[in-house]
Structures are given as C-alpha cells and as structure tokens.
Amino acid sequence: MTALLILESGSEPCARLLGAWTLPHYTQLARRLPPTTPVARLDAAGLTELDTAGAALLVRWLGAERLGQLIPEARGLSDERRALLLAVAEAMAGREPPPIPVRRWSDDLARLGSLMAGGWRQWLQLLGFMGLTLLTLAALLPKPGRWRWTALAAQAQQCGLNAVPIVALLTFLVGAVVAFLGATVLANFGATIYTVDLVAYSFLREFGVLLTAILLAGRTASAFTAQLGAMKVNEELDALRAQGLDPVELLVLPRLLALLITLPLLTFIAMLSGMTGGAAVALLSLDISLAQYLAIVQEVPVRHLLVGLGKAPLFALLIALIGCLEGFKVGGSAQSVGEHTTSSVVQSIFVVILLDAIAALFLMEMGW
C-alpha cells in the first residue's frame, strides 16, 4: 500500500497515517505533505511500515516538539514505532528543516560560468605544462648522455607496436563500411567507380589520422594517467624529487617522444588498412579489379597524404601532454586515479576532434 496522509478537520483536527512511511515512498510523501497545519490528534491505525525516513518527514512537518506531544496519545501506534518517533524527534529537536532548493535560471547561469572558468583553467594548465615540457626537452637536447633510450624504446613498443593490430583491424572495417555506404549512394547515379576516390580521400585526409588518434587517446592517454597517478599515490614521484631527479625529464619526455614517433607511423598503417578494406569491398561487391583500384588510388595527389600525416604530430603532442598532466594531478586515492583517467580520455578525444574540425575548415578555405 502506498503511503498517504489524510487530514480530518473538525473541532480537533486529526492526521491519519496510512500505508508504508518508508524510504522508497519518501519523495512521494514529501510532495503530498500539506503546509504546516495545527494537528490535535494523530491516528496511526492504518500505518503498515515506518522507518527513520518516514519519522524524519513527520518531524519536519509537525515539528519535534509538537510530535513529541502527540505521540503519547496517538492511536494505533505500537511501542516500537512510538520509541522510533520519539528518538528521531529528540535527535532532530532544535534543528531547522533544510530549505527546499528552488532552481532558478541564475543558478544555471552560474553553473555554466563555473564550467567555463574550469575549462579555461584547464586550458591554461595544459599550456603551462606544455611550456615546461618543451623547455625541459630543449635543455636536454644538447646532453645526449641524459637521453632515456631504454624508456623511449619501451614506451614506443607499448604505444606503437602493441597498438598496430587494433588500429589495422578497426580502420580496415571502417574502410569497408565507407566503401559500402559510398557504393550504395553512388550506384543511384551510375558512379560506383568513384567509391575508390571516396575511400582514398577520406582515409588520407581525415579517417586515418582521426581514428588512430582517438584510439590512442583511449588506449595510451589513459595508460599514461594511470601509470603516473599510481606513482603519485605510492609517493614514487616524491622519491624521485628527493633524489634530485626531474619527473618531467624521466617520465614525461620518453612518453611524449614515443608518441610523436609512433602516431605518424600508425596513421600511415591506418591509411593503408582503410584503403585495403575499401579494396576488399570493391573487389568482392563492386566488380572493380585490384589493378583498376590501385590505378585510381595512384591518381590521388600526394598533398592529401601529407595533410593527414601533418596532423599526427600535433595530435600526439596533445594526447601525451593531457595524459601526463592528468596523471600528475591525481590525489592520494584510487578513486582520484579513476577520475583523472576518465578525464584524460575525454579531454584527449575532445581536443583531437575539435582540432581536426578546425584544421578541416582551414584547409578547405585555403584550397589545400
């Protein structure tokens, strides 16, 4: 039975409690409670269940003092429920009921302003961290003895070599899907042969680098954040500083350089895999021979390949910096590691897509 409150007017107004006054019905009861009304009697004969949530609601409605006066004479109230109500009333005595929040447009505007200010602070932190990292790199370049070749090779294997299968498989499937969609639309105009150009242009300019960057944003940026965050939680970063070692030089630069090297190579592999997926569809479904497919691809200007590869170092720089920065911002708990890992993935993907859109508009206006 749902929870109800019935007010009976008369010479002695009576409040009848019906149903289950429990936590699952708290919201329903809170909406239906009338304004504070003088009550002379309390009838709980129809009350089936009562817990602390229901008792607290009664205290907020009647007041702790008035409820304490009504409980001894309440009808149908068992000793256990009487004791519960008295305990809750005593605990809440002297407390003002919390104000009911009223949502106003100014509150939404304040939240929007707070989010924009937080985004601006995050952008400034990223620029500052980028400057610190580039200055450390510039200071390290004339000192080959301090280059971390082992760490660089290990990170290159983790970021690049281990990511080749997933990048190649995903772009192959996307290339096949693009070819299917292009053929479906272009067949209506008798221009199925232009499916080859659609696949080649889309993967050379956009899909190759974009899909690779998104994959590495989810795979590598999260790994960077989790690794550095775990080191911070375990106080390993403090131990490095105590030994006079720079965490940026030791941990950030190998990851950054590894991603700068491997992302363009993975982008090239993604381009080849995507066009291979398009070639498979063209060969099996569109009656376009492999020689014809390759001949059309060879006519695509080289500048489209350079446009796609030119975006890769910028994406690699931002993904590595965001992943490492979020790792350094981790607090002292496992929950903080998870939150900043999620944040690094979201930020990396957002920045990659945003910059790709801006670059596409700029290049289109420039005629490149």
Please tell me whether residues 196 and 70 are part of one structural domain: no
Whether 211 is in a domain gets the answer yes
Please tell me whether residues 360 and 239 are part of one structural domain: yes
Residue 224 pLDDT > 50: yes
pTM: 0.69
Whether 108 is in a domain gets the answer no
Please tell me whether residues 59 and 148 are part of one structural domain: no
Residue 19 pLDDT > 70: yes
Whether 100 is in a domain gets the answer no
Q: Report pLDDT for 1.
A: 46
- Residue 14 makes CB contacts below 8 A (sequence gap 6+) with 7, 8, 39, 40, 41, 42, 43
The pLDDT confidence band at residue 4, using thresholds 50, 70 and 90, is low
Please tell me whether residues 182 and 275 are part of one structural domain: yes
Q: Across the chain, how many H-helices and E-strands are there?
A: 16, 3
Whether 105 is in a domain gets the answer no
| Residue 229: other Cβ atoms inside 10 A | 26
Whether 99 is in a domain gets the answer no
Please tell me whether residues 159 and 257 are part of one structural domain: yes
The pLDDT confidence band at residue 148, using thresholds 50, 70 and 90, is confident
Please tell me whether residues 190 and 302 are part of one structural domain: yes
Domain that holds residue 340: 120-366
pLDDT digits (tens, 9 = 90+) for 269-308: 999 999 999 999 988 888 888 899 899 998 888 989 999 9
Please count the structural domains in the chain.
2
pLDDT digits (tens, 9 = 90+) for 82-124: 888 888 888 877 665 555 556 677 778 888 888 889 888 888 9
Please tell me whether residues 253 and 340 are part of one structural domain: yes
Among residues 92, 109, 133, which one ends one of the domains? 92
Please tell me whether residues 131 and 219 are part of one structural domain: yes
Q: Report pLDDT for 153.
A: 92
The CATH number covering residue 42 comes to: 3.30.750
- H/E segment holding residue 123: helix 105-140
At 303, is the secondary structure helix, strand, or coil? Answer: helix
Please tell me whether residues 170 and 129 are part of one structural domain: yes
- Residue 130 makes CB contacts below 8 A (sequence gap 6+) with 317, 321
Whether 73 is in a domain gets the answer yes
Please tell me whether residues 203 and 64 are part of one structural domain: no
Q: How many percent of the chain have pLDDT more than 90?
A: 34
Q: Report pLDDT for 346.
A: 92
Please tell me whether residues 193 and 48 are part of one structural domain: no
Q: What is the 3-state secondary structure (H, E, C) of 250-282?
A: HHHHHHHHHHHHHHHHHHHHHHHHHHHHHHHHH
Average model confidence (pLDDT) for the chain?
Answer: 85
Q: How many percent of the chain have pLDDT more than 70?
A: 93
Please tell me whether residues 345 and 268 are part of one structural domain: yes
Whether 101 is in a domain gets the answer no
Whether 334 is in a domain gets the answer yes
